Amino acid sequence: MGVQNNFWDKKSKTYNKFDGKLNEFQERFFKVLDKFGVDFEGKTLIDIGCGTGVYTLYLATLCKSVLGIDSSEGMLYELNLNLYDLDYLNVETKLVSFDEFETDRKFDIAFLTMSPALKTEADYEKFLNLANLRVYMNWEEKRSSSLVDPFFKKYGYDNLNRNRAIYLQEYLDNNAISYKTEILTETRIAKRSFEEAFENACWHLEISGLKFNKNEVKENIKSRLKDGYIDDVIKSKMRVLVF
């Protein structure tokens, strides 16, 4: 399914997993959805770009049934490991990219968070037609990372990234489709060992398609370590769209 999926397979081992409860940010997200009148109880739902199932498996406790699709075999492997332990019987997963995904099913809710699956107007139309209600959350602006940002400044950054909520919002505006929206922000600190920091920095540079010197990255991270660790201050701003 392409080189990009290999990046997500690599990321899957360290990506967040469902641990049975929501964190503080996720609780705020679902409070927004509740305010917007989204009711998951007894509904059929498709989770697009479901990853390791952080939301998929939580939604399974509310919904009648959940289908999670993702183009990364590694991500779905982690989800299915967790699913096996939980023994949920109402979750189905499918290894497929969104542009290759085909179905005759109509879901109650189409759900997508932080996935780059929607890239074109055809993708937006497909997302619209999957369900009666759609829940979408993605970047409002580029994430800030005290670990990675110095490397983007040095090696460049792809400013044409389409994985932003504004493009879907513009599509909805242009097609006179009403929606509810809210901005969510989060600041967190990830304490990383040298190996974790190096792997994280290289992953973000590689998936952005940048050419960089690994030795320079290593030396830079080593110079910033304190007692063998580096505090990565991560600031995020996301937009929620419900329509």
Residue 197 binned pLDDT confidence (cut-offs 50, 70, 90) = very high
Q: What is the CATH number of the domain that holds 27?
A: 3.40.50.150
Asked whether residue 205 is assigned to any structural domain, the reply reads no
Whole-angstrom distance, CA of residue 65 vs CA of residue 187: 33
Q: What is the pLDDT of residues 35-53, one digit of tens each?
A: 999 999 999 999 999 999 9
**Domains held by the chain: number:** 1
**What token pair was written down for 129?**
């037609």
Asked whether residue 43 is assigned to any structural domain, the reply reads yes
Asked whether residue 192 is assigned to any structural domain, the reply reads no
Asked whether residue 167 is assigned to any structural domain, the reply reads yes
Q: What is the mean pLDDT of the chain?
A: 91
Task: Give me the pLDDT at residue 20, please.
Answer: 79
Query: Per-residue pLDDT for 3 more than 50?
Result: no
Asked whether residue 166 is assigned to any structural domain, the reply reads yes
User: What pTM value is reported for the model?
Assistant: 0.85
Asked whether residue 75 is assigned to any structural domain, the reply reads yes
Query: Per-residue pLDDT for 140 more than 50?
Result: yes
Task: Give me the pLDDT at residue 157, please.
Answer: 75
Give the least confident one: 2-6, 41-45, 66-70, 125-129: 2-6
Burial of 200-226, coded b for 16+ CB within 10 Å and e otherwise, reads bbbbbbbbbeeebeeeebeebbeebee
List Cβ neighbours of 214 (8 Å cut-off, separation of 6 or more): 202
List Cβ neighbours of 67 (8 Å cut-off, separation of 6 or more): 45, 46, 47, 91, 92, 93, 94, 105, 107
Structural domain boundaries, residue 125: 3-143+160-185+236-242
Task: Give me the pLDDT at residue 30, please.
Answer: 98
Count, residues in the chain: 243
Asked whether residue 231 is assigned to any structural domain, the reply reads no
Q: What is the pLDDT of residues 163-181, one digit of tens each?
A: 789 999 999 999 999 999 9
Task: Give me the pLDDT at residue 142, please.
Answer: 86
First to last CA, the chain: 30
Asked whether residue 215 is assigned to any structural domain, the reply reads no
Task: Give me the pLDDT at residue 11, please.
Answer: 54
Q: What is the pLDDT of residues 70-120, one digit of tens each?
A: 999 999 999 999 999 999 999 999 999 999 999 999 999 999 999 999 999
